[in-house]
Structure 1
Amino acid sequence: MNTCFRLAVLEDLPELLQLEEQCFTTDRLNSRSFQWMITRAHGQLLVAQAGEHWLGYAVVLFHRGTSLARGVRDEHKKDVMRLVHEAFTQQLLASDVECEIGGPLKLPQLLEQGGQPLVLISSYRLTRSKSPHWVIVTDCDDEFVYLHDPDVDHSQHRQAMDCQHVPVSHGEFDKMCSFGRGKLRAAVIVYSR
């Protein structure tokens, strides 16, 4: 039987809720969330079916700033993430990219040397969304780190100018760019060749 992919409609709500219950034990989407995705979201909710059998759904949002991320709890998925991470690490080490693990992010020095820091932050302190998010550090001084946030949340009536050179205190920035119990951090510094 062929698999059919199509846009979800409101009549699909019972099947979507049933799939959600079968697939997730916590942080489930509810009827109201699905209804919003089908009727008002800046994105698409796709469903996959084989005849009358529901195979799954996919949510495609066309801008960030949502709270739909599902950090990973299943042990098998954690193993997969670990294996992918290890493979990426090996590929990185085999490349000509300089890799520094650990140590502080010396923003003034990096900017002075012509580096363009891309830093992974938690959006929570900016948008109350717990999703990870990359920002560009445009400058820093004694009081602030200045960020360019490529995520323009039009639902909050923001313009691109509202997300450029945003001042964030050093203390807040340190909190934004650390994750989990281990206080993990990630940054990519790009230099012109």
Structure 2
Amino acid sequence: MNFIFRTATSQDLPALLALEEQCFTLDRMTPRSFQWMLSRANASLIVAEAQGHLMGYALLLFHRGTSLARLYSIAISPLGRGQGLGMRLLEQAENNARAHDCAYVRLEVRADNAVAIRLYEKTGYRPFAVVSDYYEDHSEALRFEKRIIQRPEGKVRQVPYYQQTTEFTCGPACLLMAMAALARGRPLARREEVQLWREATTVFMTSGHGGCSPQGLALAAWRRGFKVRLQVSIDGPLFLSGVRSEEKKEVMRLVHQEFCSQLQESAVHQVRSSQLDIHGLLADGGQPLVLISNYRLTRTKAPHWVLVTGCDEDFIYLHDPDIDHSRHREAMDCQYLPVSHEEFQRMSLFGGSKLRASVTLFTQA
């Protein structure tokens, strides 16, 4: 059978929905989900046609600012099975991923779907995680990954993942993950997440609750027995440009002054530099938290903390504590995110002052 592959359009919606009915009894995509994927999502939906019928599709989601693509769904009609269509759809999806500068494709598959698992393993995908209670019927999913641009890989430290539970606790969430990575068995608890925020917050931001400053996070980690290296590229209180009220700015200055006073009495090693040596920090056993501009990931101009888990010749790998469910993301989509060195250099500069900041934890000597 001769297949024609092309990008789906809204005209394919009825055929796509019919294909869902044929292929799945649970976890079907809805008309609204398909419409969102076709019109608004950062995605690629490829369809295969033959004999005037839609025989299959592959839906790929891209994680903005990273080199990661996720195969969200693949379906093949009964008429198209047994003819290698699954492998060809995977090839089409991987080609689209490369065209979007992605080096990794990840996917989930039911643990009892032996046919799909054989296909993925045959085409070079390798399991790297198991996700319990993933599907609608509470069955587990196997998480597979394939590096579609083959280059030497470096060491990626195994780091527990913790999702921030509020919109303003990305820093504390990263700090919890860093401490748990260095002190195995250390709990990741919401109670401490909130306590860390109370200790490290700058009090005010553009709107809502304040975020955490590098100085505050460094002090919080040092108080908990970790050796800490604080790097900030500029002096003075940070994030003042995001606050209009002069009264609030004055409070932020006072908080910063108190942080600086406490830092002088601590054992935190302070460095003023605009150069981040991620490879060196990891090689020394460090676990770096890095401040980024969230614009590179979500198109929102806000400071955001991420945790570096590793690096190699091509990528820096991140845990992002912020899960955006509106973009069909799961916790697994925010772990070990591959970001090119060039993109990381851009995203780790914040605001007009080109602020670069990191807080690196080490086990106490």
TM-score interval, smaller chain: 0.5 to 0.7
Gaps of 5+ in 1: 1-60
Query: Aligned ranges for residues 50-69 of structure 1 at < 5 Å?
Result: 62-64=165-167, 69=206
Q: Structure 1 residue 149: deviation in Å?
A: 0.5
1:169 correspondence with 2:354:
no
Map of 2:275 onto structure 1: 104
Determine the structure 2 residue equivalent to 1:181. 352
* Cα distance between partner residues in 2 of 1:179 and 1:167: 20
Residue identity (%)? 56
Q: List structure 1 runs of 4+ shifted beyond 6 angstroms.
A: none
Q: Deviations over 1:150-187 (max 9, x none)?
A: 11112222111100111112222122121222211221
2:313 aligns with 142
CA distance in 2: counterparts of 1:100 and 1:119, whole angstroms: 14
Deviations 1:60-104 (A, max 9, x none): x95439xx9432122232222122112111111211121112241
The Cα shift of 1:122 comes to 1.4
Distance in 1 (CA, whole Å) between partners of 2:269 and 2:256 is 17
- The Cα shift of 1:145 comes to 1.3
1:125 pairs with one of 290, 296, 299: 296
Query: What is the CA–CA distance in structure 2 between the aligned matches of 1:128 and 1:180, rounded to whole Å?
Result: 14
Query: Retained in 1: the 8 A contact 2:303–2:350?
Result: no
Q: 2:294–2:347: 8 Å Cα contact kept in structure 1? A: yes
Residues 117 and 188, structure 1, Cα contact 8 Å, conserved in 2: yes
75-84 vs 102-111, which deviates more? 75-84
- Partners of 1:63 and 1:153 within 8 A in 2: no
Unmatched runs of 5 consecutive residues or more in structure 2:
1-163, 169-204, 208-241
- Residue in 2 aligned with 1:151? 322
Judged with a 3 Å threshold, the aligned counterparts in structure 2 of structure 1 residues 192 and 124 are, in CA distance, closer, same or farther, namely: same
What letter matches 2:167 in structure 1? R
Deviations 1:104-150 (A, max 9, x none): 11111110111000011111111122221111111112222111111
Q: Give the alignment's TM-score, normalised by structure 1.
A: 0.61
What letter is aligned with 2:316? V
The amino acid across from 2:294 in the alignment is: S
Number of equivalent positions: 131
After superposition, the CA RMSD in angstroms is 2.1
